[in-house]
Each structure stands twice: as structure tokens, then as C-alpha cells.
Amino acid sequence: MTTIERTTYLPEGLPAPAPGPDGLAAEFWEAARRHELVVQRCNACKAFQWGPEWICNECHSFDLGYEQVSGRGTIYSWERAWYPVHPALKNGVPYIVALVELPDAGNVRMVGNLLGDPEQDVEIGAEVEAVFEDHAGDEPYTLVQWRVV
């Protein structure tokens, strides 16, 4: 896993999105701040699941926790966004959104930005690694992005 050295992947001057580090996802965001990738896992049946839920999707147990995973995965699907969803993003397109499958977490899939050239060729099945983008401020946080390895 790698750490991003620049301040943000967003265009200069655009306020960065900030997660709400509470509730079901609190442990995920705390781990991201430590540059660790965690996935929710049932303590009863050991099934992984994503996104976080109050109940196991497999055995319906309420005994859930998080487990650290390698941060390595493969691109399951992707999309290149060409149109900004907000006027402030007009200079931030194109960008690539990737759906990443994590083989060491029961093949759960996470969504995130694919870093690098926004017009790069992207291959389904390409190997990627988690990259951690730190944000300072009154309430610092870290986003999980992806990079082809």
C-alpha cells in the first residue's frame, strides 16, 4: 500500500469531500487514517461483506467486526466520468471510477478513484493497490484511492 504525497486528487481550490467517520463505518475510517484497509467480517461465519451492515448477509448474525486486508485487488469494472456533477468540478474531469475486487476479502468490491492519467487505458482484471490520501484540518481524514501496479 502506498501513501499519496500531494494534498488532494481534486482540482486546486475545490473543497475535498469528507467522510462522516461515525456509525457503522467509523472503524473503516479510523483504519484508513492509519493507512490500513479493513473490511467488515462476520465473527460467527467468517464471511466478508462491504459496505458495512448491522447484520451478516450470510448467517444473519449481529456479531460483526473488521479485519485488515492487503489492499491489493483487481479491477472488476470501471467508468471514465467526462461530465462534472457540480460546477466546481468543471476542471476536474475526466476521472476514472473503479470497482475493485478484493480476493483476500471474499471478493467483496469497493469503489474508488483510479489514480494516474485520467485518459489511461484501463483493463478489467488489472492489479491495483490501495493508496491513502491524507487530508489535514480541524477534523483530518484519509480517503482510499486505487493505483494500477
Q: Does residue 45 surpass a pLDDT of 80?
A: yes
The pLDDT score that the predictor gives to residue 2 is: 58
Beta partners for 129?
A: 72, 147
Which of 7-11, 33-37, 66-70, 99-103 is least confident? 7-11
Residues 89-100, mean pLDDT to the nearest whole number: 91
Q: For residue 72, give the C-alpha cell.
A: 491489493
Beta partners for 81?
A: 95
The pLDDT score that the predictor gives to residue 11 is: 65
Number of Cβ within 10 Å of residue 34's Cβ equals: 11
Mean pLDDT, the chain, whole residue set: 90
pLDDT band at 5, cuts 50/70/90?
Answer: very low
Q: For residue 131, give the C-alpha cell.
A: 493508496
